[in-house]
Amino acid sequence: MKRILTLATIIMVAALNFSVGLLRTNCFAQVPYQIVYDGSEVNTTVKQTTSGGYILYGHGQNYAAEFADFTLFELDASYNVTWSYNYSLGADEAGYGGFNKTSDGGYILTGYSNIASAGNEDITLIKVDASGNVQWDERYGGSLNDKGYIASQTTDGGYITFGSAMVTFSPVNLNYYLLKTTATGTQSWGMHIGGSNYELAGFSLLQTSDGGYIFVGSTKTYGQAPGSTYDIHLVKTNSTGLIDWTKTYGGAGDDYGSALIQTTDGGYLIAGNAAFGAGANDAFLLKTDASGNFLWGKTYGGTALDQFSSVIQTTDGGFAAVGLTWSWSFGQNDVFLVRTDNTGAELWSRRYGSTISDNGTSIHQTSSGGFVIGGNTTVLGGGGAYFIVTDANGLGPGICPYEASILLSDASFTPSVSSGGTSTAYGSRTNAIFSRSPGGTARTDVCIVLSVKIASFTAKESINGNILEWTTETESDNDY
């Protein structure tokens, strides 16, 4: 069977050696497992459990009540659902993926709800046990909108929540907001941090060794052009939320800080997007020392919008960041995974997704050295929580969902018309995806693997671009 692909740029190298991962068709990077949970789940955060399974948190649609609920569900090591909960407080609730494990084996969840509140939206904390059963829930806020983005347990056994608070409605003014509670959810203190313009909270908060806190966001008040553009904003506070120091980073355009980790050298790494890369906004990593002093910054992406939402330090000292890309997507935006060394130099990048909208919102390195990604996708028409598992190279033996198309393996090979080259390709029937409707079960019979032998492979220039053309000698199960 003959295949033709037109590329805008030539990717041919000496002796027609091709890195076939550069051939982007309507199919996706090979992954060992991906699953979509129907129900408009978004901002899905994933963590590995002590039993080798996974726990995912976000918010999804309550079909009966027609509003959103907090959603938490657990997978075992074979990716089967062991339990799932929708936490409904009687009105719209949203969990922005902000949850963490607690010392008793349970979890602390945060987001917002608008039930029985003094304002429109209130910060909400929900404490659950290891099986997802609610132990307590509390709401906090003022007369306007307040949202929790991340919550974690503090060294004193209580909890700290980071999010945003609306200071004025007209004109709209947002501040960062820190909320400290006891172990049972009683508020100890709350702190507004910000100025007269917008401060956009990121999705990370860390407790520092001195008992204080550090978080990242984006400021329109304290940047290089106050009131005009956003700069990345790193803020260190003491144990009661009073500012110790702040740092801003950015250029002439809008730059955003979304995620923050402390690195093994005691410094920090910020992930987000910046306006000074190759495209409209590029995904961005920024490294600082322990005092927030800039060490290096690197951009990743193409000519369109690319951004990071989550970052981790890997076991070898490098980094892995996930977000979305419009530059190299198969339709709209796709999940974007980038692996770097400890200086931010890119080692490889992968894209996963459908022909619609897909986004990676969290990443975790597994005990086996691979990665699990949580996110959201609109492939099922509405929305769904997107769960991806890869090996240490972002690949796998796996599946190729959604499109009836072909993708050659990422291993380089030397095609030859006379002797033929052998590789592996993956394909699937239309809309091939592991999915679970509410109350339903996962479909596991929709993806197929094609074994392909390449008979010929050529590259040539044309008026419209560069054409890669190959002919397959044999294919199995070729009815798609």
Higher pLDDT: 130 or 92? It is: 130
Q: pTM of the predicted model, to two decimals? A: 0.76
DSSP 8-state assignment for residue 245: E
User: What token pair was written down for 83?
Assistant: 């339990």
Structure tokens that stand for 407 in this block: 């993708």
292-348 pLDDT, tens digit per residue, is 999 999 999 888 889 999 999 999 999 999 999 988 766 788 889 999 999 999 999
CA atoms within 13 A on the CB side of 451: 1
Per-residue pLDDT reduced to its tens digit, 66-80: 455 778 888 888 887
Compute the residue count for the chain.
480
Taking the alpha carbons at both ends of the chain, their separation in whole angstroms is 12
Comparison of pLDDT for 11 and 459, the residue scoring more: 459
Q: Calculate ∠ Cα 352-355-357, nearest 5°.
A: 75
What are the contacts of 242-248 at 24+ separation with CB within 8 A?
242/191, 243/193, 244/212, 245/291, 245/292, 246/222, 246/292, 247/288, 247/292, 247/293, 247/294, 248/219, 248/222, 248/223, 248/224
pLDDT at 57: 83
Max mean pLDDT among 15-29, 30-44, 171-185 falls in 171-185
Q: How far is CA 190 from CA 167, 210, 241, 247, in A?
A: 14, 19, 8, 22
